[in-house]
Structure 1
Amino acid sequence: MASPGKLDTRGSDFARLARQITDAGLLDRRPFYYAIRMTIMAAVYLGGWALFIWLGDSWLQLLVAVALAVVFAQLGFLAHDLGHRQVFRTRRPSDIAGLIIGNLGIGLGWGWWTTKHNRHHANPNHEDHDPDVSPAVIVWSEDQVARSNGLPRFVAKYQAYWFFPLLTLEAWHLHIASVKALFKPEAKRRGPELTMLVTHFVLYFGLVFTILPVGKALLFLIVHQGLFGIYLGSTFAPNHKGMPILTAEDKLDFLRKQVLTSRNVRGGLFTDVALGQLNYQIEHHLFPNMPAPNLRRAQPIVERYCAEIGVDYLQTGLVESYGQALRHLHEVGAALRRPLPIQGA
């Protein structure tokens, strides 16, 4: 650990780190990288559907469903980067590209999801303010368990075992939530967003049920959407699940709020690509507009700085990250597994 005299003491802890990151050029845009990435994803997306049409009535379509689940998730990562202005500096091109990829391409409401995701970034793992830890089905803290009833309470008892099976429904949940959000009074761009979503679903279901008989079509949908949901959920789960849950009593500065509630996942190029480079979750939360390919370069700078100022920085392997998340979910539901006291005993 560096001595305090060697640290830049101007401004907040985050401001000093931000200066290092800026001086290293890590907030600079990467237009060539994103141009190549978008071109590849467009080709793979169109090629996947061309293969689907070419194969016709075949059981091999289930392999296409698996491949398209991966493609849809990767497009989701690209839409995520657009939402954080990692690709373009201004709003308009980000909105246009995000709507095309999100609403039209994969059937997820880009405007709704971006708003929700920005709320998560502002208050990660906060019981009252982070929509990603609201107890809709899974409960994330013992306080939420105590207040739960109905389905969340039923699931919470053994929710660590339910977690991955429930992810098979995540894509459907996101589709439905995307449409429902557009009928709320605060919805923006209702016309364009709804038009693109409806167009996606008409083309998607129309193509699947035109090419395949009903039985195979339904099985294709189950495999494709189920794996799409599992992939998305499995990518975001290692980032915050099992990390501290914040309440109104917790008063943390920006840097600590982001670092202490996030977890990085170690890995090489394969892990980076498979997780959309969101395995550098700490760096991403500190600098959400940092282009994704720069996160790997920022990681050692952030880790070293956290060590210098005495802030815990957690980085694990992928399997261990799931283990920590699932153990947390199981511990949260422990009270519901205890036998009820015998009356009069």
Structure 2
Amino acid sequence: MSLARDDVSARILQGQHILIYNRHVIRVPGAWLANHPGGDLAILHFVGRDATNEIDAFHADTALILRYSIGQLAGDEPWQPLLPPIACGWSRRDDQWLSSASTFHPDSAQVLLVAKDSPAIAPTLATITPPPSTLSLQVQHQHAQAYKHLHKRITDAGLYHTPYLSGYGPEFLRYVSLALVSFYAFRTGWIVISALALGLLWHQLMFFAHDLGHMGVTHNWTYDRLISILIANFIGGLSIGWWVDNHNIHHLVTNHPSHDPDIEHLPFFAISPKFFTNLYSSYYGRILPFDFASRLFVSVQHKLFYIVMLFARFNLYRLSYVSLYNKAFDTKRSRGGKWAWRLEMIGIIFFWTWFAGLVLRNCGSWQKALLYMVVSHVTTSPLHVQIVLSHFSMSTIDLGPTESFPARQLRTTSDVICPESVEFLHGGLHLQVAHHLFPRLPRHNLRNASIMIKEFCKEEGLTYAEFGFVKGNQEVIGVLREVAGMVKDIGQQIKLVADVASVEAREAVNKKMAQGETSDNGNGVLLHSN
């Protein structure tokens, strides 16, 4: 069956989840949407869009996707994308449209969820029609086609083959060594050294959990999820299920203020003045209020950045446990999702049993236990700094659904340059450009992939951003300082307006009181200015 754009639009407005893959019109069933291993948001963000590059990047086998094809696009012109309903604040529940933020719609220039006094009962064709784009659809289509050829080169070069011995062999020796040092130091009473070694172990293991979350180790979802639960939940006390859901969305809508949870850090950080407008987050399903606390922290965020990062792991606990709690009431999860959730809960209980019940309890005193807790958790902070270096200084402007997958990733992501000898400290995540373009790629192969990507960028006229570690930190602090200055400017403007209003009010009162010396108030009472 041949389907035109009007046909696709009508189906979307009827509530069907339609996306395009290699010119196939894919209708995603509600059951599969609820049980998608990458989370339902990963699909909802591409309703009405050509998701060919994204699907190829995140899926090794696309045979299942083609089972849901209901036809092919009419004609041979590049697909003109529609705006996904979720990008307008709309979602479906019980076969009914639900405005996740009934008074929120995209603004006129960018597809951001901002306050508008225009509630509606359902999206319309105008709702899912994106604003005029400054980008050439033909050029973006060319980028997408070139990416497909690049992906084939990457695959043919064998870069999806995991180097178990040469890659993960040294990694496992490092994990075991750190675990043994931490255990031995604890037994001999060297609390700080033990905590430091444990923190370094967590730091290194999170890179391994990251690879597993992307199915970049065994390339089998079940095996990688089992191993990642062991690493993240049982040893690290964090939910790998929450992290995968969060991280997949970050990859798909990188640096989008309304949708990317990895840049939604109010009240502590804002990397764009767009956050001053009380944006609605489609990931968290709530408004991100720019309130007094946000104005206070953001105004000094460049000074607090490293201090906050020291304790970022505690926030990961909070996000993990809130996610696990919410999933306990999710009745639409598949059997696979249920066993993973149960195993994750067992892992969290196991973690706090050994860490709090065996380690902290046997430190000798509550002061030493507190010291152990702080040192072990602060030691992981370079990981959190590493993650933001490649994104905080990059563009947060939304160019709409016309922008191709490779163009968007290259515009919002940068590399951190470092010698090969210390790459293990970065866990391969310093090569974020290659990782974002090919998220399933084993990290030990990212350097070879980056060489091909740079050639691709030259051919397509795209920019490949990379900074040294020091320069990257300077760029991030610079962005934070710039946005903090905007907050202060707003505060000064508010104060100026208040001062002007106060002066005008005093002048009006004084004038009235001066006139009152020769007039009464209408009730026979003489007004005096004392």
Q: C-alpha displacement at 1:183, in angstroms?
A: 1.0
Spell out the pairing of 1:320-335 with structure 2 (5 A cutoff). Answer: 320-335=471-486
Indicate whether 1:71 and 2:197 are aligned: no
1:5 corresponding residue in structure 2: none
Indicate whether 1:53 and 2:186 are aligned: yes
1:129 corresponding residue in structure 2: 259
Match of 1:343 among 500, 506, 520: 500
Indicate whether 1:149 and 2:280 are aligned: no
Structure 2 contact 191–363 (Cα < 8 Å) conserved:
no
CA distance in 2, matches of 1:227, 1:39: 20
271 and 153 in structure 1: CA distance in 2 versus 1, 3 angstrom threshold: farther
Cα deviation digits, residues 224-260 of structure 1 (max 9, x gap) = 11222x2221110211111000337464100011111
CA distance in 2, matches of 1:136, 1:50: 38
CA distance in 1, matches of 2:302, 2:442: 33
Structure 1 contact 157–336 (Cα < 8 Å) conserved:
yes
Cα deviation digits, residues 28-86 of structure 1 (max 9, x gap) = 22232455145324413431342233222xxx321322222121111000000011111
The two structures, once aligned, show a CA RMSD in angstroms of: 2.0
Match of 1:208 among 345, 349, 360: 360
Indicate whether 1:222 and 2:379 are aligned: no
Spell out the pairing of 1:1-345 with structure 2 (5 A cutoff). Answer: 12-33=145-166, 35-37=168-170, 39-56=172-189, 60-137=190-267, 138-147=269-278, 148-184=290-326, 185-186=329-330, 188=337, 189-206=340-357, 207-228=359-380, 230-247=381-398, 249=400, 251-338=402-489, 339=492, 340-341=495-496, 342-343=499-500
User: Is the deviation greater in 329-338 or in 46-55?
Assistant: 46-55
Q: Percent identity, please.
A: 24
* Structure 1, unpaired ranges of 5+: 1-8
Q: C-alpha displacement at 1:296, in angstroms?
A: 0.8
Structure 2 contact 178–197 (Cα < 8 Å) conserved:
no
Structure 1 contact 123–129 (Cα < 8 Å) conserved:
yes
CA distance in 2, matches of 1:35, 1:262: 26
Larger strand proportion of the pair: 2
User: Is the deviation greater in 214-223 or in 239-248?
Assistant: 239-248
85 and 190 in structure 1: CA distance in 2 versus 1, 3 angstrom threshold: closer
Structure 1 contact 123–130 (Cα < 8 Å) conserved:
yes
CA distance in 2, matches of 1:205, 1:73: 19
Structure 1 contact 128–248 (Cα < 8 Å) conserved:
no
Structure 2 contact 192–372 (Cα < 8 Å) conserved:
yes
CA distance in 2, matches of 1:33, 1:258: 29
65 and 53 in structure 1: CA distance in 2 versus 1, 3 angstrom threshold: closer
2:29 corresponding residue in structure 1: none
Q: C-alpha displacement at 1:171, in angstroms?
A: 0.7
Structure 1 contact 107–175 (Cα < 8 Å) conserved:
yes
Larger helix proportion of the pair: 1
Structure 1 contact 107–197 (Cα < 8 Å) conserved:
yes
Structure 2 contact 257–274 (Cα < 8 Å) conserved:
no
User: What SS is found at the alignment partner of 1:12?
Assistant: helix
297 and 39 in structure 1: CA distance in 2 versus 1, 3 angstrom threshold: same
Structure 2 contact 182–193 (Cα < 8 Å) conserved:
no
User: What SS is found at the alignment partner of 1:260?
Assistant: helix
Cα deviation digits, residues 195-225 of structure 1 (max 9, x gap) = 1111101210122221332111111111111
Normalised TM-score (structure 2) = 0.60
CA distance in 2, matches of 1:252, 1:271: 35
CA distance in 1, matches of 2:444, 2:200: 20
Larger Rg: 2
AA aligned to 2:433 is I
Cα deviation digits, residues 106-138 of structure 1 (max 9, x gap) = 111111111111111111111122110114331
Structure 2 contact 185–193 (Cα < 8 Å) conserved:
no
CA distance in 1, matches of 2:210, 2:170: 13
* Structure 2, unpaired ranges of 5+: 1-141, 279-289, 504-530
Structure 2 contact 415–465 (Cα < 8 Å) conserved:
yes
- Paired residues, what number? 333
Normalised TM-score (structure 1) = 0.90
